[in-house]
Structure 1
Amino acid sequence: MADFVVHYEGGLRCHVAHPDNGAVLVMDASQELGGRGENFSPSDMLSVSLGGCVLSIMAMAGRVAGLELAGATATVTKEMGNAPRRITRMAVTVAVPGVFDAAQRRRLETAAQACPVHTALGIDAPIRIIWQD
């Protein structure tokens, strides 16, 4: 288990250092909300985490089946709402180069749906994962 300590710097900016490797992430509120907008916002980071998780879990399932997914992309669309400010919808469009039979595609789609970030988001914002042909 890892503890991530997020530090507020002021000016609607936060940073966190990874406890194991020291990698640093900086987050800003968007300019429309009065932040600097120079880095990803926290809700952007959630979108990035979702896309990275979907691809990673698919790649793990693909590796077991002997499938190479290098060059795959996940385009995450995030829609924001107000009152309260929140993510109202997310969609992940996955594009994987290559040709897959029905069983291989089903394996990859099932893996995508099992992404831990996706399953942890028990929020009132349906997340669609779309396979791009």
Structure 2
Amino acid sequence: MATIKSSYEGNLRTKMIHLQSGQEVITDAPLDNNGKGEAFSPTDTVAAALGSCMVTIMGIVAERDGMSLLGLTWEITKVMQSDPRRIAEVIVEFHWEKPVGSPAFLQKLKNAAKTCPVALSLHPDIKQTVHFNF
């Protein structure tokens, strides 16, 4: 059974619908690749998925240990390569002003993040640079 139903909307725009929830995501081609840049590009969604997946797995670990990740934020920087055009690197920078838990717990979170399914699914040629500012 399908997970996502997608359609081409014209003008280099796509629409994806998550079938279980009905949530929609629009993508546009980026400005530097003939697009309008009015929404996430397909490669932006890949980069965003890495950060979201890392935090989801960290959240599972935190909940299992009775801890909270409230206040944790992150930024994603996607670095493109031109020939061939592809994602060369995804930089994930975590910020947590007031982390909770022991140094061992925080290390457990970092280890969990680096083994999330998206991190393990990306091609090894895509460099994953992760900074934990906590």
Q: Same fold (TM over 0.5)?
A: yes
Q: What amino acid maps onto 1:11 in structure 2? A: N
- Name the structure 2 match of 1:33: 33
In 2, the alpha carbon distance for the partners of 1:102 and 1:121 equals 29
CA contact (8 A) 1:52 1:74 kept: no
Q: Which residue of 2 aligns with 1:107?
A: 108
CA drift at 1:99: 4.2
TM-score (norm 2): 0.91
Aligned match of 2:117: 116
Displacement after TM superposition at 1:5 (Å): 2.6
Offset at residue 33 of structure 1 (A): 1.3
How far is the alpha carbon of 1:3 from its aligned partner? 3.0
Q: Which residue of 1 aligns with 2:49?
A: 49
Q: State the superposition RMSD in angstroms.
A: 1.5
Superposed displacement of residue 11, structure 1: 0.8
Residues 74/2 of structure 1: CA separation in 2 closer, same or farther (3 Å cut): farther
User: 8 Å contact 2:73–2:95 — kept in the other structure?
Assistant: yes
Partner of 2:72: 72
Helix, strand or coil for the counterpart of 2:4? coil
Does the residue aligned with 1:27 lie in a helix, a strand or coil? strand
Structure 1 spans left out of the alignment, 5+ residues? none
State the distance in 2 between where 1:2 and 1:41 align: 22
Deviation string, structure 1 residues 12-43 (Cα, Å, up to 9, x no partner): 11111111121111100012211121111011
Q: CA deviation at 1:51?
A: 1.0
Structure 2 unaligned regions, length at least 5: none
Percent identity over the alignment is 34
Aligned mates of 1:60, 1:18 — CA distance in 2: 22
Whichever structure has more strand as a proportion of its residues is 2
Aligned residue-pair number: 133
